[in-house]
Amino acid sequence: MKRLFIALITFFILIQAASAIESYQAEYILEKNYASVNLGFELAEKDYFEWNLPDDANEISANVKYEVIDLKSYKKLQTKDKASWINIKYRTSTVIERTKNDFFILDLSDIDAKIMDVKLKLPEGAFLEYDSSSKKNSIIPKTQFVGIDGKRIIIEWKDISKNAAILVIYNAGMNYAILIYSFIAIASAIAIAFILGIKLKKKIVKNDLTKNLFEEEKQITEILIKCGEMWQKQLEIKSGISKVKLSRKLRALEQKGIIEKIPYGNTNKIRIKG
């Protein structure tokens, strides 16, 4: 944390703009080890503009012609044309500190703008260190604008006050999206295998039990395999076999060890012998 503190002091004291800033909009998209930064500045009037970037800033771009001066401890971006809207993009790791937890730290105290909005997107699969029920805060200052896009937690500070410093404590952890998709895929495969296994087992049982049976005995057996345990009256209706004939066929199947009858008062429950 000491290294980060020194870097922040050095970097943010140097932040300044040549022209008055009406609004400042910042978006930080975090990956594991770096942040993609997108800054927007609305100026009071068309003017040249300069902005200090961290010394590790790379993949720098802007919406106007510019040059970058390397000043060892930081970099200075200067526009070559006048404009009232400046958009600067770059990558940096200075806003991220990784220890036991992961920290996003941003000091806005030296930015003189009438309106300041900041949006932060945590790495995919990352989660806040403390949940809403905890007495400790993962997000400082607090904000009501916290959501998720299915992959990332998104935090926004609307019209944040001057002299503010943002701190977010999170845990990059494992990619839960991949974990969830993997779990769904595995669960689906198991379910399909289970269903196919049951169907195969039923087919084997059916073929084995109905072998060498008379047609009506085979019909009764197939109904019981498909429907499970049934009342004798249900089986009579389902099979379309008369009561007397059904009783005779059930006795034959019982003698062959294929079914069993469970007496219930004046009727029976019929099932495949287990």
In the predicted model, is pLDDT for residue 221 greater than 90? no
User: What would the mean pLDDT of 39-53 be, rounded to a whole number?
Assistant: 94
- Domain spans in the chain, listed from the N-terminal domain onward: 2-173, 179-272
pLDDT of residue 131: 80
Residue 6 scores a pLDDT above 50:
no
The CATH-assigned architecture of domain 2-173 is Sandwich (2.60)
Using pLDDT thresholds of 50, 70 and 90, give the confidence band for residue 20: confident
pTM confidence score = 0.58
Q: Identify which has the larger pLDDT, 28 or 165.
A: 28
Task: State the Cα–Cα distance between residues 34 and 242, nearest whole angstrom.
Answer: 80
Average pLDDT taken over every residue of the chain: 82
Which is higher by pLDDT, 31 or 110?
A: 31
* Model confidence at 78: pLDDT above 50: yes
Q: How confident is the model at residue 35 (pLDDT cuts 50, 70, 90)?
A: very high
Token couple for 248: 């005779």
Class of 179-272 in CATH: mainly alpha
Per-residue DSSP letters for 234-255? Answer: HHHHHHT--HHHHHHHHHHHHH
Count of other CB atoms within 10 angstroms of residue 131? 9
